[in-house]
Structure 1
């Protein structure tokens, strides 16, 4: 006579206890979504995503977390500990998952793809941010003026405008300015207007000061000198960035993967590896690129 052994988790019946034991390992499921695991503790931990329960608190800043492992990773932001090292470039990370994502910058692996446009990304968070381009979702809202942003980094940058006396807002992006002349100059970044031209090569600029700085390309003038090594630069900003090669300072941090940079432009360029943004397009064939020099190299294929 056949005897059925019912499985308490999913009510499936089995002819032998061995079959029951083998299957029980993979039958713990979340009642609210499709998540399942062969460990009951995993489902219990997962349920906190639905309940919002965060029973583990940081003794330094009070931040709360749903698991002890998440708390452990967070504590490293206070201690500065970064135990995971990249064997390729030596970059250090506080979380192993961040190291795994970083390694894809070396391998070129981008396993997360956008179903709308086909763009691919190395991290799921980058794909999530990218999808907002298609959906128009802007979940980060300024409580002061109501401006909304697709990324938390955009909101943080925007909030700085409210902390100082800058009464003139841009109606396009929400940036604030101290003087109306600064606002007018800024708006040219949206309109593309460049009324100031170089008399030597015809390059045009949105600000007069940029023309004066550009002229040093033709004159070769480099009035700003590094006191450490004697290198000379055409602008104070180039000198400031260069000095960081001596100090090792990297004040610009990526919120997605913890990489740090000495120059803000390098951070902006790096962020495109997460968002998939390609702002430089070929006027001949419409191919798009994330870096200007990549576009220049591509243009040679049309010559």
Structure 2
């Protein structure tokens, strides 16, 4: 029997190979014996085989009737049952485990209370030893390493310092203009103030003329009032060959051709026979006809409607007197 025991032990260690290495960072590749699936996590391989190849147990123990679907699990069986190899011992009881992960699982589930660390100075406890150290350092030793840059306030945590800054120094504006009373908490804001107010720098320029402005919104206002008509006539360079229609983009021209001249209605409602040439029209149809969504509301009462035209019709008929009074 001793010879058999030694033979099994040698065979197990011979087959173990790199799968049992304890070197940190070593990447192990587990391959499925029934298909091309491979992974670097044993648990993933086990799940894969249980889901796809359940019932296939080709690995049979030569010492008993036990069989497994994966070779690694058969080796575990031999180690535990026949060789009694359980090298990881629990420090709280006599339990032994085959792997570190199984021992950790046992400790976390069975000895949860024993694993917790307690503060020697109060009733605080934690499962994390480093948290106990931090607790002792900041609560009992009163170590206040976080200091405010604007006053003498100190605190034990970065969070408390942030709360202090928000409450006490939120309105602090340390960057002051040397030409006026303007203050800001950001240097970039101060620079922008000086450029615009004192140096009269106009960085924003119209791309159609020589107009310049301090702010982009002023350029847009200028563009809309001065160049809007010019842009409409100039930019519409895509002309329809079948009518007088012109568009600013080739995509808009194509839509015009599909809708008006080709009468293409490729978008069909899945709830009725309605067809349309654009996806947006189909969505509007579904919302109004089938979902009964009423997105438009009267500003004078609680009435809602599917379209703006219905709202206008409602106001003209119901609130006409109120409109005249206004």
Higher relative contact order (CA 8 A, sep 6+): 1
Question: Which protein shows a greater Rg?
Answer: 2
Q: Give the TM-score, by structure 2 length.
A: 0.26
